[in-house]
């Protein structure tokens, strides 16, 4: 087993594929210790075969709070501490606002929001007792902007961002750090059937969605294997950022969107000001 005194100890959800798998393997390669979780532990068998005692494989469906509590506690007991808690489990619901059912939206929120909360709430007492820890959450550039057809997914990331920003302020006095990871478009398995769920379509949106999907295919996608080095800079920093984009396309897009928002708010500011008081 790697030297625990100098290695970081990670707890990672959604470690079976996508960024979760890439980051788990990269952490293990650099000598860190990882509690890797997934709904099906068989999907993590190769990690155990390759890294042995460096990795603890745990079954975790984040939509089951009791399972989240048990997994976090088991990882903490096994390794003696947790340095990094990384919420990565999530998926996207594809469908227009009209098409998706309330049940489908609720199910996505159960994973993307309430699942992440279950892990955070399970970990916080342990991190607080340690007097340190770093909570990482995988969001998206869609935590600041949005697109049609995946608006519900974007909405889950907007909520994710707000929760983690509040969390960062609340736990800073206990020595706990929080960072929101915001990847752009990457060539991961996020587009697979395991990471996408499709709402039943309506004919009136067919042409619109076909056009949208055609535009998505033109997006410049980053190499997931290029991301671990950036992530390690964040977790190794004495003062890590609250937010960090991953990829080269995000910042320009977000800056443009916020410039448009500021211009619109300023254009309507006289109306906004008039709503302050009847005495004006």
Is it true that domain 9-248 has CATH number 1.10.10.60? no
Q: Hey, which residues are catalytic here? A: 139, 153, 157
Mean pLDDT computed over 44-49: 95
Strand partners, 59: 38
Query: Could you tell me how far CA 250 lies from the centroid of its own chain?
Result: 16
Residues 6+ apart with CB under 8 A from 85: 10, 11, 72, 119, 120, 123, 127, 133, 134, 135, 136
| DSSP for residue 57 | E
Tens of pLDDT, residue by residue over 115-139, are 999 999 999 999 999 999 999 999 9
Tens of pLDDT, residue by residue over 128-167, are 999 999 999 999 999 999 999 999 999 999 999 999 999 9
| DSSP for residue 147 | -
Torsion-angle region of residue 80: left (phi > 0), alpha (psi -120 to 50) or beta?
Answer: left
| Rg, C-alpha atoms of the chain | 20
CA–CA distance, 44 with 36 (Å, rounded to integer): 8
Number of CB atoms found within 10 A of residue 138's CB: 26
Count H helices and E strands in the chain, helices first.
Answer: 10, 9
Please give the pLDDT value at position 184: 87
Cα-Cα-Cα-Cα dihedral sign, residues 191, 19, 143, 65: positive
Please give the pLDDT value at position 221: 85
Q: Look at residue 271 and tell me whether its pLDDT is greater than 60.
A: yes
pTM of the model: 0.92
Please give the pLDDT value at position 192: 46
3-state secondary structure of 279: coil
CA–CA distance, 199 with 99 (Å, rounded to integer): 6
Across all residues in the chain, what is the average pLDDT?
Answer: 93
């Amino acid at each position: 087993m790697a030297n625990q005194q100098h290695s970081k100890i990670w707890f990672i959800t959604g470690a079976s594929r996508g960024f979760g798998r890439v980051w788990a393997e990269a952490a293990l390669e650099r000598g860190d210790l990882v509690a890797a979780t997934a709904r099906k532990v068989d999907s993590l068998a190769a990690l155990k075969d390759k890294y042995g005692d460096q990795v603890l494989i745990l079954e975790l469906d984040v939509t089951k709070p009791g399972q989240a509590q048990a997994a976090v506690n088991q990882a903490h007991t096994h390794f003696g501490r947790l340095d990094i808690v990384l919420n990565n489990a999530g998926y996207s619901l594809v469908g227009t606002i009209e098409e998706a059912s309330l049940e489908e939206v609720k199910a996505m929120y159960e994973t993307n929001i309430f699942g992440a909360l279950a892990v955070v709430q399970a970990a916080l007492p342990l991190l607080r007792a340690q007097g340190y820890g770093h909570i990482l959450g995988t969001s998206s550039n869609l935590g600041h902007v949005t697109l049609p057809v995946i608006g519900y997914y974007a909405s889950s990331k907007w909520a994710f961002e707000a929760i983690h920003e509040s969390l960062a302020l609340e736990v800073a006095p206990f020595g706990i750090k929080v960072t929101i990871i915001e990847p752009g478009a990457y060539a991961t398995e996020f587009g697979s059937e395991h990471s996408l769920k499709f709402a039943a379509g309506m004919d009136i949106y067919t042409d619109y969605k076909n056009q949208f999907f055609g535009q998505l295919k033109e997006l410049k996608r980053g190499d997931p294997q290029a991301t671990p080095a950036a992530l390690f800079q964040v977790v190794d920093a004495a003062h890590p950022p609250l937010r960090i984009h991953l990829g080269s396309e995000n910042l320009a897009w977000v800056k443009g969107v916020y410039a448009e928002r500021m211009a619109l708010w300023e254009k309507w500011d006289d109306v906004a000001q008039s709503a302050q008081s009847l005495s004006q």
